């Protein structure tokens, strides 16, 4: 029964029942404000119980105030059907084979114009219908691993994903694409960088910043770029492939451990921090920026290291932080803490005792910088030296999120803190780099005349 009134509750539900009107009814509603006609749409769970939503013949939706309704009449009924017809993804023996893993984010979608619903497209047939260019690049197969939002991706998902990728590589795939929500894409990219080592093929993570129902969405172009990178590129690393500028011009291939989402909504939100991206990519070509990457190989000698200790936390330091923050982690049995410290890697004296308690309990504590750019330098000031004496280990220029993922992964495979330290400080995939190139730090400042002249010339 509940299904007949999708999402309606309280007063609105009462009224629908009273007049025997179901969701998907073609209804005429008389109100004190006039008469409205249209199809009764489902109501979003979090919306109030004071309105009933109609889709009118003009295509517009309107809400009708329950208090004003004097009569309702069902004139017809047609339940919406969200099925998308599929077109078979063409196969060609000469083309590379690419596997697309889905984790829950919508990469492509189609509209159900009648009801206005946005239906995700995922199967090869659906994708081919939405982004036919993919068939020019590769033979594609897809597998939906999870259906979770980006923020719900966690250790269990990292492990499953790593294992599935390993299996595909063993089976001879030429490239992997992972569709992912953008919010935590860089966490998952780091996790895969550690869990899938020495991959002979590219593993490319991709998503979209603007939903794929919009004609100007970045989704299709990102997917085309990512698929091309997976199918054709010589870069056998875990990468994130997203827009370079906000303009529809080219994408960037970022190293999975140096990339970070830097804007809540911009298309060009992903940036490589403290280094340059590996390459730029467009529909026609891949242009390398760096040449010291791992090359594609014929063999299948991939190492899958699916470990993760969940009792690890990031502590973002702020002035006046109290020791109880650290103490609560100790009490709750945490095994590792990554601190995002100020400046070169500092915290205030007040929490020293808590840090001493933590290291005494055998908790691994690593220091990163909340400035994101730059290295931890704990020898420069007394504070840093004090902290190291207490057992905090500087994590060089590892990004806080990457350090968090790596510490979880290291503690997942070793209990001995010296062993953990060795794992942590041995670079696997550029999470620590020996040097920061001069162009690794670029945050432009608007308003400065030469910068404005430059902005006018390039497409941001």
Question: Catalytic residues, which ones?
Answer: 106, 182-183, 261
240-269: which residues touch other proteins (CB under 8 A)?
245-249, 263-267
Stretch that binds other proteins, among 30-38, 305-313, 340-348, 433-441 (CB under 8 A): 30-38
Is residue 106 a contact point for other proteins (CB under 8 A)? no
Cβ of residue 261: shortest distance to other proteins, in angstroms?
14
CA R_g for the chain: 26
Among positions 90, 95, 97, 116, the unique one binding other proteins when judged by CB under 8 A: 116
Cβ burial 337-374 (10 Å sphere, 16+ → b, else e): bbbbbbebbbbbeebbebbebbbeeebbbbbbbeebeb
Helix (H, G, I), strand (E, B) or coil at 139: strand
Q: Hunting for tokens 């007063």 — which residue is that?
A: 11
Stretch that binds other proteins, among 84-92, 158-166, 340-348, 365-373 (CB under 8 A): 84-92
Q: Is 112 in the site for other proteins (CB under 8 A)?
A: yes
CA distance 257 to 183: 15
> What CA dihedral angle connects 254, 244, 150 and 413, to 10 degrees?
10
The residue within the footprint of other proteins, chosen from 4, 13, 117, 390 (CB under 8 A), is 117
Sequence-ordered alpha helix ranges (H) in 98-240: 124-130, 134-137, 155-170, 185-195, 219-232
Rounded Cα gap, residues 413 and 153, in angstroms? 20
Residue 278 lies near other proteins (rule: CB under 8 A): no
Binding flag, residue 343, other proteins (CB under 8 A): no
Asked if 57 interacts with other proteins (CB under 8 A), we say yes
Residue 283 contacts other proteins per CB under 8 A: no
Q: Are 42 and 23 in contact (CB under 8 A)?
A: yes
Q: With contact defined as beta carbons under 8 Å apart, do 440 and 276 qualify?
A: yes
The binding track of 60-79 with respect to other proteins, each residue x by CB under 8 A or -, is: xxxxxxxxx-----------
Classify 95 in phi/psi space as left (phi over 0), alpha (psi -120 to 50) or beta: beta
332 binds other proteins (CB under 8 A): no
Residues 128, 134, 135, 138: is their CA dihedral positive or negative? negative
Contact 54, 29 (CB under 8 A): yes
Instruction: Supply the minimum distance, in Å, between the C-beta of residue 4 and other proteins.
Output: 21
Q: Does 427 bind other proteins (CB under 8 A)?
A: no
Does position 35 bind other proteins by CB under 8 A? yes
Using the rule CB under 8 A, which residue among 114, 295, 303, 435 binds other proteins?
Answer: 114
Compare residues 295 and 459 and give the one whose CB is closer to other proteins.
459
Q: How far is the CB of 76 from other proteins (least distance, A)?
A: 18
E-only strand ranges, 248-403: 251-255, 259-261, 270-272, 279-281, 286-288, 303-304, 312-316, 336-341, 364-369, 393-394
Identity of the residue, 264 or 320, whose beta carbon is nearer to other proteins in the bound complex? 264
Residues 125-184, interacting with other proteins (CB under 8 A): 129-130
- 50 touching other proteins, by CB under 8 A: yes
Backbone angles phi, psi at 457, to 5 degrees: -85, -40
Where do runs of H (alpha helix) occur along 352-448?
352-360, 382-389, 400-413, 417-425
Question: Of 437-456, which residues contact other proteins (CB under 8 A)?
Answer: 446, 452, 455-456
| Count of positions on this chain that bind other proteins (CB under 8 A) | 66
Are 418 and 332 a contacting pair, CB within 8 Å? no
Interacting residue with other proteins among 74, 183, 213, 234 (CB under 8 A): 213
Stretch that binds other proteins, among 42-50, 170-178, 302-310, 337-345 (CB under 8 A): 42-50
* 324 near other proteins, rule: CB under 8 A: no
Give the C-alpha separation, 145 to 447, whole Å: 46
Nearest to 143 by CA among 186, 177, 112, 187: 177
Please identify, using beta-carbon distances, which residue of 62 and 145 lies nearer to other proteins: 62
The minimum distance between CB 39 and other proteins, in angstroms, equals 13
Residue 110 binding other proteins, by CB under 8 A: yes
Residue ranges in contact with other proteins by CB under 8 A: 31, 33-36, 47-48, 50-51, 53, 56-68, 82, 84-85, 87, 109-114, 116-119, 129-130, 209-217, 220-221, 245-249, 263-267, 446, 452, 455-456, 459-460
């Amino acid at each position: 029964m509940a299904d007949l009134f999708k999402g309606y509750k309280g007063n609105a539900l009462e009224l629908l029942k009273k007049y025997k009107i179901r969701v998907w009814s073609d209804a005429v509603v008389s109100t004190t404000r006039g008469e409205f006609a249209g199809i009764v749409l489902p109501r979003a769970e979090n919306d109030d119980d004071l309105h009933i939503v109609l889709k009118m013949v003009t295509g517009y939706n309107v809400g009708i105030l329950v208090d004003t309704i004097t009569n309702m009449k069902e004139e017809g009924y047609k339940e919406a059907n969200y099925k998308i017809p599929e077109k078979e993804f063409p196969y060609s023996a000469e083309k590379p084979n690419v596997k697309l893993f889905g984790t829950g984010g919508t990469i492509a979608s189609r509209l159900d114009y009648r009801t206005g619903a946005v239906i995700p497209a995922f199967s090869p047939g659906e994708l081919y219908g939405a982004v036919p260019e993919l068939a020019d690049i590769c033979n594609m197969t897809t597998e939906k691993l999870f259906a979770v939002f980006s923020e719900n991706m966690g250790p269990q998902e990292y492990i499953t994903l790593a294992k599935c990728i390993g299996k595909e590589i063993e089976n001879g795939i030429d490239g992997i694409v992972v569709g992912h929500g953008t919010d935590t894409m860089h966490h998952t990219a780091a996790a895969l960088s550690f869990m899938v080592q020495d991959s002979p093929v590219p593993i490319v993570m991709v998503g979209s910043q603007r939903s794929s129902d919009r004609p100007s969405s970045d989704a299709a172009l990102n997917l085309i770029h990512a698929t091309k990178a997976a199918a054709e590129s010589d870069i056998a690393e875990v990468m994130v492939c997203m827009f370079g500028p906000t303009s529809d011009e080219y994408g960037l291939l970022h190293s999975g451990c140096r990339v970070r989402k830097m804007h809540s909504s911009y298309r060009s939100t992903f940036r490589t921090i403290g280094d340059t991206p590996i390459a730029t990519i467009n529909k026609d070509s891949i242009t390398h920026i760096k040449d010291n990457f791992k090359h594609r190989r014929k063999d299948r000698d991939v190492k899958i290291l699916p470990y993760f200790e969940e009792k690890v936390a990031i502590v973002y330091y702020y002035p006046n932080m109290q020791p109880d923050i650290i103490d609560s982690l100790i009490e709750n049995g945490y095994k590792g803490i990554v601190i995002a410290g100020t400046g070169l890697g500092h915290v205030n004296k007040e929490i020293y005792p808590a840090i001493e308690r933590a290291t005494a309990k055998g908790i691994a504590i690593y220091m990163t910088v909340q400035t994101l750019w730059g290295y931890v330098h704990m020898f420069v000031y007394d504070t840093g030296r004090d902290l190291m004496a207490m057992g905090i280990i500087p994590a060089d220029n590892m990004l806080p999120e990457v350090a968090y993922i790596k510490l979880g992964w290291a503690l997942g495979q070793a209990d001995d803190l010296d062993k953990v330290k060795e794992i942590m400080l041995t670079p696997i995939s550029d999470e620590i780099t020996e040097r920061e190139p001069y162009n690794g730090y670029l945050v432009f400042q608007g308003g400065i005349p030469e910068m404005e002249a430059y902005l006018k010339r390039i497409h941001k």
